[in-house]
Amino acid sequence: MRPPDFAPVPAPIPAPIPEDRLHALVEAMRGQPVLMLVDLVVDRFLSGTPKRISREAPVLILRYAGESLAPGGGANAVANVMALGGLPRPFGLVGEDASGRELLAAFAERGIPTGAILVRPGYGTPTKTRILAGFPTGIKQQVVRLDREQEVVLRGEEVEALRRAIAEAGGARAAILSDYGYGSVVPALLPEIRKAVGQDGAILVDSRFRLGDFAGLDGATPNEEEAETLLGRPLDDLQGSDVGAGRELRERLRARFLLVTRGSRGMSLFTPDGAAHVPVHGTDQVADVTGAGDTVIATFALALAAGGSPREAMLLANYAGGVVVMKMGTSTVSREELHAAITTDPRPRLEMTWVEF
């Protein structure tokens, strides 16, 4: 626990990161390889137009209007790296089922390599189906979500196959672990990932349920709820009275940096030297938060791989997150959209604050 007399030391506000520097980093993301050990998920969207209330039960009847599929879970992080111009190298497992085949096809259409994705007969690829209701000219609202989930324990030969694939993938400056609790992200593969990125590279983790199991990596990107779960107490003010809790969590994870996403309150970054806080980009009236954390970790990792500092990477991730939550469904952000956000909204860049430990 942090000693009761711990208090942050006010520090001079650092000079704003120049806009040109951020634009240069966005361009430097192009072609950066990122190793990605992920839980692969399929997001399905079924949409319909409201007709009436059913006589069978007090439920809405929808007239089928269409459906779509998007890479979900860790697969969405992979898609975001690709959309930003990076070179994702995904490692994981899908089933020999319709969802698995469609996900591999979606990756292939985007130019994402699939050779290191294992296919297991009898395994059901995790699939989240969202039912959306709305009129053609209006915004569609999510009515219900149906999850088909099957946790998996990787077999010894599957772990070895992934280990060989990671070793053969070549070097990278960054790696992402996207753990949604489905079993593909196993600590046994971390030594091989460390070899691939080197001691100067960054291994980042986004874990929904077991962040504490990944202590000792370079960075983590939990949201506030996940951070509170690990700490065992609420975080009301990471920019003020709770800044010491952020420091405590980073130390508990033995991470070089901890990036906490805070929804409409922006983001907070904790390093050994202090904490940086940045306001949210855009409006706090979001359209859809689905997959926003995947966009954040993808952008953060690519910015670090491109030579950015943790503060610069946080700022770019903040811009990307603000863009993606204004889109409906599981979405990605392009370099062009990131450039536009940086140009049109200087507030996050100018209002970033710093607290020294």
Which CATH number characterizes residue 212's domain? 3.40.1190.20
The whole-number pLDDT of residue 321 equals: 95
Cα–Cα dist 49/198, whole Å: 52
Cα–Cα dist 176/86, whole Å: 13
The whole-number pLDDT of residue 220 equals: 98
The whole-number pLDDT of residue 196 equals: 96
- Domain total in the chain: 1
- Asked whether residue 9 is domain-assigned, the answer is no
Question: From the candidates 97, 179, 288, 294, which is the catalytic residue?
Answer: 294
- Asked whether residue 178 is domain-assigned, the answer is yes
By C-alpha distance, which of 177, 248, 252 is closest to 8?
248
The whole-number pLDDT of residue 288 equals: 65
Strand order in the sheet with 33-38: 9-10, 353-356, 274-278, 267-270, 257-261, 219-220, 202-207, 174-179, 33-38, 87-95, 117-120
- Asked whether residue 1 is domain-assigned, the answer is no
- Asked whether residue 144 is domain-assigned, the answer is no
- Asked whether residue 52 is domain-assigned, the answer is no
The whole-number pLDDT of residue 326 equals: 87
Cα–Cα dist 157/332, whole Å: 33
Catalytic site includes residue 294? yes
The whole-number pLDDT of residue 12 equals: 52
- Asked whether residue 195 is domain-assigned, the answer is yes
Number of CB atoms found within 10 A of residue 344's CB: 9
Structural domain that includes position 96 = 14-41+71-125+150-356
Structure tokens at 272: 């050994």
- Asked whether residue 64 is domain-assigned, the answer is no
Q: In Å, how far are 182, 205, 226, 316, 335 from 222, measured between CA atoms? A: 18, 8, 6, 17, 24
The whole-number pLDDT of residue 5 equals: 44
The whole-number pLDDT of residue 357 equals: 86
- Asked whether residue 222 is domain-assigned, the answer is yes
Q: What is the pTM of this model?
A: 0.93
The whole-number pLDDT of residue 329 equals: 81
pLDDT tens over the chain, length 357 residues:
444 444 555 555 578 999 999 999 999 999 999 999 999 999 999 999 999 999 999 999 999 999 999 999 999 999 999 999 999 999 999 999 999 999 999 999 999 999 999 999 999 999 999 999 999 888 889 999 999 998 899 999 999 999 999 999 988 999 999 999 999 999 999 999 999 999 999 999 999 999 999 999 999 999 999 999 999 888 877 777 778 889 999 999 999 999 999 988 999 999 999 999 999 998 766 666 777 999 999 999 999 999 999 999 999 999 999 999 988 888 999 999 999 999 999 999 999 999 888
